[in-house]
Amino acid sequence: MRQDSQTVPVTVTVHAPQHHPSGHPGGGLPFTGAPLDVMAAIGLVLGLAGAAVMTAVRRKSTAPPTARLGSPA
Amino acid sequence: MTTFSARRQVVLAGAAVMALAGSSLGAFADSSSVPVTTLVATGTRTLSVTDVTGASIGTNGLPLGTGHGGAFLVNVTDTRYKNAGYQVSATMTNLYPYATNAFDFNGTPIPASAVSVSYPSGLLDLVNIKSLVTPVLHLTGSLNLGALPLPISIDQTVNGTATMAQSLANTVTKSTLAAALSQLPVTLQTGDVGAFTSAAGLPGEPTAHPNPTSLNLMSGNAQQPLASALVTALNTTYGGLTAQQLVTAGLVDQNAVISAVAQQAGITPDLITNAEQTAIMTNLTGTINALTGSVLGQTGSYNTMPALAIDVPTSIAAGTYRGQLVVTLMDK
């Protein structure tokens, strides 16, 4: 009765689960990977635009009511 | 005083007369010892487990897990091996943490039950399958012998010598296997799928594993291949060759040819001269009539490509783990 055998080593590498700390690239930020100066420029533009809108709203809200309604003097 | 040649001619003539008259020596009896040789197929049957390219699996082993297919080739090769079936099976050990060429048996292993076998490639084939058979040759032709006035017509069957016969294409694949099955000396069946439910033991492992799960990877049963297909294949290669060519090809022994002719002429083979032997070997041609007895053995290889997959439990710590797959070939 013939019998022959061969042993094959089997290897597995188990990796640790990956956690992404908040604020770290890969943590879910919409501009992941964008350069810092680009992000600063976008922030400045958004800030200026917001300030302009707020100024316009404030001026409108302090104007006389008749003027605002446009009734004859 | 008569010369040998004259005596031989008298004997030949007398023998011819007796052969034509159909007489026999009747009550005369004698005994002698005749050495008889029987061919026993004593070839080899080997198992080979390699990576999918046919290269040996290195010391780093067969990698499993994400990014690794876990496939390997199992090959059984017969070279004039006796006509016996075979079975290739496998067991799997637990996979232990492994570092600096040593198992850490104190660590939590990945159980063997996390490893399973499947056959995603579907590869199952046979290559260059040939059956070792003994052909029966039909020799015909016309020649002059001794003092006989007319050429005698030879019509004899002779048992040939063991010969390899191939009736199948060089490669039989899974899709052509069913059609080729009857012509195989050893059949081919695919293996089991599923997990190694119970682990085998590793050398040095403190825990005993007396009943490991053994999964069949490939098997075959010995059978008698279809004789007519083998006869046709032999005639395609050898049919119509002269007796000398058949002897040169190893299909028949020259003494068997001479003896057959002498038998038909009613003389003993020693009365045939060298010149007459040459004429016999040149003038007679042969075809293969049938096969004698059972298939003696076979040559060829059987291949399959199983793949191991692993489902690592979430409780397993990060690291490198190693186990052993033991593949075993047995006759059956």
Q: Tell me, letter by letter, the H, E, C secondary structure of B44-103.
A: EEEEEEECCCCCCCCCCCEEECCCCCCECEEEEEEEEEECCCEEEEEEEECEEEEECCEE
- B328–A3: do the CB atoms touch at under 8 Å? yes
- A10–B317: do the CB atoms touch at under 8 Å? no
Give the relative orientation of helices B254-265 and B274-283 as an angle to the nearest 10 degrees: 100
- B329–A2: do the CB atoms touch at under 8 Å? yes
Mutation target vs B (from A14, A15, A18; most B CBs, 10 A cutoff)? A14
**A58 has pLDDT over 70:** yes
- The count of CB pairs under 8 A between chains A and B is 95
Instruction: Provide the mean pLDDT of chain A.
Output: 67
**A27 has pLDDT over 80:** no
**A41 has pLDDT over 80:** no
> What is the distance of C-alpha B116 from the center of its chain?
33
> What is the distance of C-alpha A14 from the center of its chain?
33
Asked whether the beta carbons of B78 and B68 are under 8 A apart, the reply is no
Q: Residues B269, B270, B276, B277: what is their CA dihedral angle, to the nearest 10 degrees?
A: 70
- B57–A7: do the CB atoms touch at under 8 Å? no
pLDDT band at A39 (very low <50, low <70, confident <90, very high): low
Share of chain A above pLDDT 70, in %: 49
A22 — contact with chain B (CB < 8 Å)? no
Spans of chain B, pLDDT less than 50: 1-8, 10-29
pLDDT band at A63 (very low <50, low <70, confident <90, very high): low
**Number of DSSP helices (H) and strands (E) in chain B, helices first:** 6, 17
Q: Which pLDDT score is estimated for B265? A: 87
Q: Which pLDDT score is estimated for B274? A: 93
A18 — contact with chain B (CB < 8 Å)? no
Q: Which pLDDT score is estimated for A28? A: 42
Asked whether the beta carbons of A5 and B90 are under 8 A apart, the reply is no
Taking CA–CA distances from B93, the nearest residue in chain A reads A10
Mean pLDDT of A17-41: 53
Nearest CA-CA distance, residue B46 and chain A, Å: 8
Nearest C-alpha neighbor of A4 from the set B88, B56, B182, B296? B88
Nearest CA-CA distance, residue B79 and chain A, Å: 14
Asked whether the beta carbons of B131 and B225 are under 8 A apart, the reply is yes
Within 10 Å of residue B233's Cβ, how many Cβ atoms? 20
Asked whether the beta carbons of B311 and B66 are under 8 A apart, the reply is no
A19 — contact with chain B (CB < 8 Å)? no
- Give chain B positions within 8 Å (CB) of A1: 330-331
Q: Which pLDDT score is estimated for A66? A: 53
| Cβ-proximal residues to B276 (8 Å cutoff; 6+ apart), any chain | B143, B144, B145, B146
- Give chain B positions within 8 Å (CB) of A9: 57, 59-62, 322-325
Please report the beta strands in A1-73, taking only residues with DSSP state E, as ranges in sequence order. Answer: 3-14
Mean pLDDT of A19-24: 49
Residue scoring higher pLDDT (B77 or A44): B77
Residue scoring higher pLDDT (A66 or A12): A12
pLDDT band at A38 (very low <50, low <70, confident <90, very high): low
- Give chain B positions within 8 Å (CB) of A12: 63-65, 95, 110, 310, 312, 320-322
Nearest CA-CA distance, residue A29 and chain B, Å: 28
Q: Which pLDDT score is estimated for A31? A: 45
- DSSP 8-state assignment for residue B114: G
A10 — contact with chain B (CB < 8 Å)? yes
